[in-house]
Amino acid sequence: MNMRDVVVVDGVRTAFGRAGEKGYFWLTRADDMVVKVIRELLRRNPEVAPTMVEENIWGATTQEGDQGLTLGRTTALLAGLPDSCSGFSIDRMCAGGLTAVTAAASEIALGACDVAIAGGVEHMSHHPMGATADPNPRFLAERLVSADALSMGKTAENLHDLFPEISKEMADAYALQSQQKAALAYREDKIQQMIVPMTVYTREGWVVADRDQQPRPETTMEGLRDLKTPFRAQGRVTAGNSSGLNDGACGLLLMSEERALKLGMVPKMRLVGYAYAGVRPEIMGYGPVPSTKKLFTRTGLSMEDMGLIELNEAFAVQCLVFMKEFGLTLPDDERLNRLGGAIAFGHPLAASGPRLVMHLMHLFGAHPEVRYGLSALCVGLGQGASAIWENVGGR
């Protein structure tokens, strides 16, 4: 069987809300957020009739309640896709959405389907991280992992221990520039076009959720300096240099390049390759380093070939470690997260992978001189996820 080229033709997301009663989505279902994204992808791309969508794949970390019952199938039915559209849900925590995208791409590459929707959703208000999980007692009893491995913030403190040259001040400086880049991208109307406004009922009545709630454009180094370190006394990880707790959904429309061209659509990016890798759970933030190295080995490309990099900002320290390991300029490499990152926008776990790819897609459009871009994330319990994309916009 010959492998076929796979392209992304569009992407869209909901605004990312703050988790909790004051967030946009407290009274909104996670599956309705996914439906909104699917319908908007189809509305924006009238060349794609709903009957053409053959597969609908969604990542979600907690697969119960309004994220249960195999979201890929339930949301296909709820969105009005035809009965013939199959679907499933998938979990790789923070990389659940990217895994949905690479699963869809693999199906398309192998000829199992032509057109797919794939994305990720996380309603961290309704499903606080790990709240209903029941980790096997052997993990701790047999010291398979340390207790730190189950708290993402503590794994970030561990990374600071491992790389003592990365100070809290550097993490704060990184966080500040993420907020500043996001604020600039908002001012330049670069983020709004990626968000589908959603009218939602909240404790304050009906509101239109059309902007992220997490960004803090007023952030200063002084404001960051004195924040509490909730994961360790005298630690270095704070609410200011971490991603937050958020609700959101993001989805992409993928197809074979051949089908896109037949439909007269402009493919924006082609998947070059992807890789996943594991690391010790206690230093989960290190994950994107081995997954990216593995991907470079497999594709024959290197960091020098990457004109743009979208790295999820679970924690500033983990981004700084990645940058250091690949020889990028600290704390701000001009190729990295040009529009800001999860420290500003928020990190609704499985929704973040597709968001990174979507940012890359928009940046590719603005930078035709760039050929390759990387999207990468760290993953709870010690994994990394990486994908390389080729800029084919308007080719």
Ligand X SMILES: CC(C)(COP(=O)(O)OP(=O)(O)OC[C@H]1O[C@@H](n2cnc3c(N)ncnc32)[C@H](O)[C@@H]1OP(=O)(O)O)[C@@H](O)C(=O)NCCC(=O)NCCS
- Residues identified as active-site: 94, 347, 378
Nearer to ligand X, 153 or 267 (CB): 153
Kindly state whether residue 153 participates in binding ligand X, applying the rule CB under 6 A: yes
* Range in contact with ligand X (rule: CB under 6 A) among 72-80, 217-225, 319-327, 329-337: 217-225
Nearer to ligand X, 140 or 239 (CB): 239
Kindly state whether residue 34 participates in binding ligand X, applying the rule CB under 6 A: no
Q: How far is the CB of 325 from ligand X (least distance, A)?
A: 18
Kindly state whether residue 224 participates in binding ligand X, applying the rule CB under 6 A: yes
CA 352 to chain centroid = 2
Candidate list 213, 242, 292, 386; residue touching ligand X; CB under 6 A: 242
Sign of the dihedral defined by the CA atoms of residues 227, 228, 231, 233, in that order:
positive
* Range in contact with ligand X (rule: CB under 6 A) among 73-81, 221-229, 273-281, 298-306: 221-229
Kindly state whether residue 245 participates in binding ligand X, applying the rule CB under 6 A: yes
Q: How far is the CB of 163 from ligand X (least distance, A)?
A: 17
DSSP bridge partners of 276: 385
Kindly state whether residue 216 participates in binding ligand X, applying the rule CB under 6 A: yes
Q: How far is the CB of 210 from ligand X (least distance, A)?
A: 21
d(CA 173, CA 64): 38
Candidate list 77, 78, 239, 303; residue touching ligand X; CB under 6 A: 239
Kindly state whether residue 346 participates in binding ligand X, applying the rule CB under 6 A: no
d(CA 357, CA 243): 18
Q: How far is the CB of 310 from ligand X (least distance, A)?
A: 16
Burial of 34 (0-12, 13-18, 19+ CB in 10 A): buried
* Range in contact with ligand X (rule: CB under 6 A) among 50-58, 114-122, 237-245, 364-372: 237-245
Complete DSSP assignment for 36-81? HHHHHHHHH-TTS-GGG--EEEEE-SS-SGGG-S-HHHHHHHHTT-
Query: Contacts with ligand X in 86-125 (CB under 6 A)?
Result: 94
Kindly state whether residue 59 participates in binding ligand X, applying the rule CB under 6 A: no
* Range in contact with ligand X (rule: CB under 6 A) among 66-74, 202-210, 216-224, 253-261: 216-224
Are 56 and 73 a contacting pair, CB within 8 Å? yes
Nearer to ligand X, 243 or 375 (CB): 243
Among 194, 379, 357, smallest CA distance to 281 is for: 379
Complete DSSP assignment for 164-182? TTS-HHHHHHHHHHHHHHH
Kindly state whether residue 219 participates in binding ligand X, applying the rule CB under 6 A: yes
CA distances to 49, 139, 151 from 146, in Å = 50, 8, 10
Candidate list 135, 223, 368, 394; residue touching ligand X; CB under 6 A: 223
d(CA 254, CA 259): 10
Kindly state whether residue 152 participates in binding ligand X, applying the rule CB under 6 A: yes
Question: Which residues fall within 8 angstroms of residue 331, CB to CB, at 6 or more apart?
Answer: 170, 173, 174, 177, 320, 323
Q: Which residue ranges make up the site for ligand X (CB under 6 A)?
A: 94, 152-153, 216, 219, 223-224, 227, 230, 239-240, 242-245, 314, 347, 380
